[in-house]
Amino acid sequence: MSDALQERLSTARLTSEIKRRARELGFHKVGIVRAMPLEDERARLEEWLRRGHHAGMSWMARDVERRTDPRRLLPGALSVVVVALNYFTPHRHTAAHGTGKISRYAWGDDYHDVLGEKLKALLAFARELAPEAHGKVCVDAQPAMDKAWAERAGLGWIGKHTNLITRDYGSWVFLGELVLDIELEYDDAREEDHCGTCTLCLDACPTGAIVEPYVVDSARCISHATIELREPELPAEVAANLDGWLYGCDICQNVCPWNRFEQATEESRFEPRPDSISPKLNDIINLTHDAYVERFRRSPVKRAKLAGLQRNAHALLEDD
């Protein structure tokens, strides 16, 4: 057997083992693609930024090249292992008076911690098989374009609401990447766009934040306003159309026909914490800083800060 053939077999075996281990760790989908600049995606990102759709998220405009080239995250990067983790749990918001809705993704433990732990375990496994390997774990906080990589790896397609949609789990998935400086076998089959002529997400958005298919204006988005915005008051158009949302918004996902394929996750850490689905607004308003820290420790909701949550609760009560 030639050295070249042995090397190919070794690469194939390594790729297979990494995918197997990813599934053992609980990831529901995994694909591997070559680490290379995201040229088309960079052009779309720059146009989105030029139009000011990132609103107050100034970090989105910093170092676009690093955000779109994994070799800037890990020198010598050759492969990107892309994973998706289903987070759907079959619970529903209450319509009770004086309560506010929290986005489904934030009902349980912080996905940064859950995915980060699993990806670090996957990196450790890869280094057991290939001790010379170096890697970089990316879970949202790192400047990597998660949805673009997931689309390239064939995990799904980016829908008109700009979330990744999978045929298996709908859009209720968290995404992450493991960038490696070793050669692997790459997936080249992409999922075609199955949104078709559907415009349910555009039609349902109460603030018109999906300004055109595949384009979201963050300045109009309820999720951006209730989570990222640090102003003392919500924008008037958003405040008048909150539809009960205290933190985040799931409207565009709730109406998506592909979410009829939703499945309950096996990851217990995504099960709702007490009072995390539809908390009482007065309870939020009366939280002290210490009580807030204790209640939302290791929860995504801490992203909004206590002042932001209380601002949102006041806006909902004023609109009631």
- d(CA 61, CA 33) in angstroms, rounded, equals 25
Q: Which of 113, 140, 193, 283 is catalytic?
A: 140
Give bridge partners of residue 134 from the DSSP assignment.
none
> How many residues comprise the chain?
320
- Closest by CA to 175, choosing from 253, 84, 112, 105, is 84
- d(CA 5, CA 254) in angstroms, rounded, equals 49
DSSP SS3 for 159: coil
CA distances from 297 to 118, 247, 270, 292, 305 (A): 20, 16, 14, 8, 12
- d(CA 286, CA 98) in angstroms, rounded, equals 13
Helices then strands (H, E): number in the chain? Answer: 13, 10
> Positive or negative CA dihedral for 305, 310, 315, 320?
positive
Give bridge partners of residue 176 from the DSSP assignment.
83
- d(CA 315, CA 320) in angstroms, rounded, equals 9
- 168 in catalytic set: no
- d(CA 227, CA 300) in angstroms, rounded, equals 10
As given in the structure block, the two tokens for residue 151 are 């689309």
In order, the DSSP letters of 180-193 are: ESS------PPPPP
Residues taking part in catalysis: 140
